[in-house]
């Protein structure tokens, strides 16, 4: 299959290039970047030196003719200007931005403060979360990859929501995310002397990923669910840790919670349940997930107040973005699901 990546010079685009460069079923034929047009890819992504000799090109009409699959790894609000022109061609489109994640056009007004220009397309996209929508992803032509903090939170909460274990009106998500989550474009806030050493709350209320979390949990529950989330930028490059405070409806044992998660995620290739009292790595830790496509999930019970603390970790550029994109592509194209995604992460790093 011939693949094109629109917006290939960013961090997510670079990860797509890295993964797909050793995917046995894929040939990368186009990688676009207006800023770096005609430059070799390895000048922007130096880890790819020797893996490919293609150059960045400008996005033009010829891109469509060269590809069977296109990934759009452009900023939010940009892919909606590109994708409608590609749909009629019939190629598979995997969008890494937020432009087609939400099903209700009113949610784009609420969470992104703009009127969606193509609301008729929203229902045509499959939400790219294989653990919930694998059957829909098979042969899907239009896929919207979840936001990184949304995915990390949804995967932790889904088993308890589906099994009606926790109170649905009292879910609080505390999310820590590395600097790469802000994208490749620098700003004063991402300047080294400002970013280093921080634990910086940057959107204590109203973060846009809440819209996805509420949408997907409401579908699972059958009831309208509201969640609270407060993200923090922290002193690492990659990784997300979501600490999620939930409260059980009734008294439930640790073994019952464990059984719910094992049943829900049975045979899932990229979900690992972490609760190891004999290791220093007792709970999920994003550090050991760098470069991997795993989501590690753990929990602890607080019997004093019937609280279940969920801990969920991912690499925001992998399972939180490019890795999920390739996983969804593998499913949609009939490839083995874990192809090119089996790297276990680094330790120590």
Comparing C-alpha atoms, which of 98, 120, 124, 121 is closest to residue 111?
98
Catalytic, 67? Answer: no
List the catalytic residue out of 67, 148, 242, 295. 148
DSSP result, 27-57: EEEEEE-STTTTSBGGGTSGGGTTT---B-B
Distance of CA 218 to the CA centre of its chain: 19
Helices 323-333 and 11-20 sit at what angle, rounded to 10 degrees? Answer: 50
What residues form DSSP beta bridges with 308?
246, 301
Query: What's the distance, CA 221 to chain centroid?
Result: 21
CA-based nearest residue to 182, from 149, 155, 151: 149
- Tokens (6 digits) for 112: 């992104």
Residue 318: strand, helix, or coil: helix
Residue 2 dihedral angles phi and psi, to the nearest 5°:
-95, 130
What is residue 141's DSSP assignment? S
> Among candidates 9, 8, 12, 17, which has minimal Cα distance to 182?
12
Give the start-end residues of each E strand in 208-266.
228-234, 240-247
Closest listed residue to residue 156, CA positions, set 177, 173, 180, 176 = 173
Question: Sheet containing 126-127: which strands, arranged edge to edge?
Answer: 27-32, 2-6, 69-72, 92-95, 142-144, 126-127
Active-site positions read 148
């Amino acid at each position: 299959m011939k693949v094109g990546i629109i917006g290939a010079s960013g961090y997510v685009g670079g990860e797509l290039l890295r993964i797909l460069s050793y995917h046995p079923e894929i040939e990368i034929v186009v990688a676009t970047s207006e800023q770096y047009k005609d430059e070799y890819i390895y000048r922007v992504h130096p880890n790819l030196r020797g893996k490919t000799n293609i150059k960045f090109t400008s996005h033009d009409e010829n891109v469509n003719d060269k590809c069977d699959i296109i990934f759009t790894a452009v900023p939010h609000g940009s892919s909606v200007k590109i994708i409608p022109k590609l749909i009629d061609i019939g190629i598979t489109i995997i969008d890494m931005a937020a432009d087609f994640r939400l099903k209700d056009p009113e949610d784009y007004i609420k969470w992104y403060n703009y009127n969606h220009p193509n609301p008729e397309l929203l229902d045509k996209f499959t939400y790219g979360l294989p653990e919930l929508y694998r059957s829909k992803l098979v042969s899907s032509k239009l896929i919207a990859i979840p936001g990184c903090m949304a995915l990390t939170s949804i995967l932790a909460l889904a088993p308890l929501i589906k099994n009606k274990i926790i109170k649905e009106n009292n879910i609080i998500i505390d999310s820590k995310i590395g600097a790469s989550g802000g994208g490749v474009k620098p700003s004063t806030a991402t300047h080294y002397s400002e970013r280093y050493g921080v634990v910086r709350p940057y959107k204590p209320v109203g973060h846009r990923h809440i819209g996805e979390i509420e949408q997907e949990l409401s579908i699972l529950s059958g009831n309208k669910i509201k969640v609270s989330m407060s993200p923090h930028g922290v002193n690492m490059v990659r990784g997300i840790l979501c600490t999620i405070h939930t409260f059980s409806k009734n008294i439930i044992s640790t073994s019952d919670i464990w059984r719910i998660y094992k049943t829900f995620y049975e045979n899932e290739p990229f979900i690992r349940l972490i609760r190891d009292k004999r290791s220093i790595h007792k709970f999920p830790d994003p550090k050991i997930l760098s470069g991997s496509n795993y989501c590690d999930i753990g929990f602890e019970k607080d019997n004093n107040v019937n609280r279940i603390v969920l801990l969920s970790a991912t690499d925001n550029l992998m399972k939180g973005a490019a890795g999920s994109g390739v996983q969804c592509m593998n499913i949609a194209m009939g490839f083995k699901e874990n192809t090119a995604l089996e790297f276990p992460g680094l330790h120590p790093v």
